[in-house]
Amino acid sequence: MSATQQIRIQGGTLVTIEGRRAMDIEVLDGRLATIAEAGTLPGIRPPGGAPASVEVIDATGLYVLPGLIDGHVHLRDPGDGTAEDIGSGTAAAVAGGVTTVLDMPNTDPPTDDAARVDAKLRRADAVAHCDLGVLGLVDDRTLDRLEAMAEAGAVGFKAFLGPTTGGMAPPSESGLRAAMTIIARLGMRLAVHAEDATLVEAATTEVRASGRTDPLVHPDRRPVAAEVAAIDRVGAVAVDTGCAVHVVHLTSADGLAAIERWRARGADITCEVSANHVLLGAEDMAAIGSRMQMNPPVRRRAEGHATALLEGLADGRVTMIASDHAPHPASHKPDDPWVAHSGAVGVETSLQLFLDRVVGAGILTLERLVKATSAAPARVWGLSTRMGALTPGLEANLVLVDPARPWTIDDDTLHGRARLTPFRGWSGQGAPVLTMLRGRVVMRDGEPVGEPIGRGIRPSR
Ligand SMILES: [Zn+2]
Torsion sign, CA atoms 361, 67, 402, 13: positive
**What is the Å distance from ligand 1's center to 363 Cα?**
25
pLDDT tens for 167-203 read 788 999 999 999 999 999 999 999 999 999 999 999 9
Beta strand pairing call for 6-10 and 20-28:
antiparallel
CA 317 to chain centre: 17
Cα 33 to ligand 1 centroid, rounded to whole Å: 36
- How many angstroms does the Cα of residue 311 sit away from the middle of ligand 1? 22
Average pLDDT, integer, range 199-215:
95
pLDDT at 24 over 50: yes
Distance from residue 37's CA to the centre of ligand 1 (Å):
41
Ligand 1: distance of its center to the CA of 129 in Å? 21
Does residue 44 have a pLDDT over 70? no
The C-alpha atoms of residue 271 and residue 28 are separated, in whole angstroms, by 35
Measure 318 CA to ligand 1 centroid, in angstroms: 17
Task: Show the domains of the chain with their CATH numbers.
Answer: 6-64+394-448 (2.30.40.10), 68-380 (3.20.20.140)
* Higher pLDDT among residues 318 and 461, named by residue: 318
What's the gap in Å between 186 CA and the centre of ligand 1? 24
Confirm if 245 and 267 have CB atoms less than 8 A apart: yes
73 C-alpha vs ligand 1 centroid, how far in Å? Answer: 6
How far apart are the CA of 72 and the centre of ligand 1, in A?
Answer: 6
**326 Cα to the center of ligand 1, angstroms:** 6
Calculate how far, in angstroms, residue 347's C-alpha sits from the geometric centre of ligand 1. 12
Provide the whole-model pTM: 0.96
* CA dist., res. 354 & res. 259, Å (int): 23
47: pLDDT strictly greater than 60: no
Q: Across residues 355-363, what is the average pLDDT?
A: 98
pLDDT at 41: 87
Of 37-46, 319-328, 380-389, 423-432, the range with the lowest mean pLDDT is: 37-46
Decide if pLDDT at 352 tops 70.
Answer: yes
| 291 C-alpha to ligand 1 centroid (Å) | 15
How far apart CA 65 and CA 16 sit, in angstroms, is: 7
Q: Given this model, what pLDDT does residue 167 score?
A: 77
Ligand 1 center to 378 CA (angstroms) = 18
Q: How far is the CA of 132 from the centre of ligand 1 (A)?
A: 15
pLDDT at 43 over 70: no
What is the band of 165 on the pLDDT scale with cuts at 50, 70, 90? confident
Q: pLDDT tens across 383-397, in order?
A: 999 999 999 999 999
Q: Rounded to the nearest whole angstrom, what is the distance from the C-alpha of residue 214 to the centroid of ligand 1?
A: 24
66 close to 17: Cβ distance less than 8 angstroms: no
Residue 42 CA, ligand 1 centroid: distance in Å: 46
Q: Which residue has the higher pLDDT, 376 or 166?
A: 376
**Dist. CA 48 → ligand 1 center (Å):** 51
- Measured in angstroms, how far is the CA atom of residue 292 from the centroid of ligand 1? 13
- What's the pLDDT tens digit per position in 394-422? 999 999 999 999 999 999 999 999 999 99
pLDDT of residue 163: 76
Q: Is the pLDDT of residue 360 over 60?
A: yes
CA–centroid distance, residue 315 to ligand 1 (Å) = 24
- Would you state the pLDDT for residue 162? 80
Distance 437 CA to ligand 1 centre (A): 24
Q: Which residue has the higher pLDDT, 205 or 5?
A: 205
Q: How far apart are CA 229 and CA 305, in angstroms?
A: 17
Give the model's confidence band at 461: pLDDT under 50 very low, under 70 low, under 90 confident, else very high. confident
Average pLDDT over residues 134-140: 97
pLDDT digits (tens, 9 = 90+) for 101-119: 999 999 999 999 999 999 9
How far is ligand 1, taken at its centre, from the CA of residue 396, in Å?
28
Return the higher-pLDDT residue of 163 and 375. 375
pLDDT recorded at residue 3 = 54
Q: Calculate how far, in angstroms, residue 295's C-alpha sits from the geometric centre of ligand 1.
A: 8
- The whole-number pLDDT of residue 1 equals 44
Q: From ligand 1's centre to the CA of 54, what distance in Å? A: 41
- Confidence check: pLDDT of 48 > 60: no
Q: Tell how far CA 448 is from the center of its chain.
A: 19
| pLDDT higher than threshold 70 for residue 52 | no
What's the 74 CA to ligand 1 centre distance in angstroms?
A: 6
Spacing, Cα 275 to ligand 1 middle (Å):
13
Distance 70 CA to ligand 1 centre (A): 12
| Amino acid 56: pLDDT | 94
Mean pLDDT, the chain, integer: 95
Ligand 1 centroid – CA 96 distance (Å): 18
pLDDT at 51: 55
Q: Choose the weakest-confidence range: 36-45, 266-275, 337-346.
A: 36-45
Distance 192 CA to ligand 1 centre (A): 10
Taking phi over 0 as left and psi of -120 to 50 as alpha, with beta for the rest, 137 belongs to beta
CA of 240 to the centre of ligand 1 (A): 26
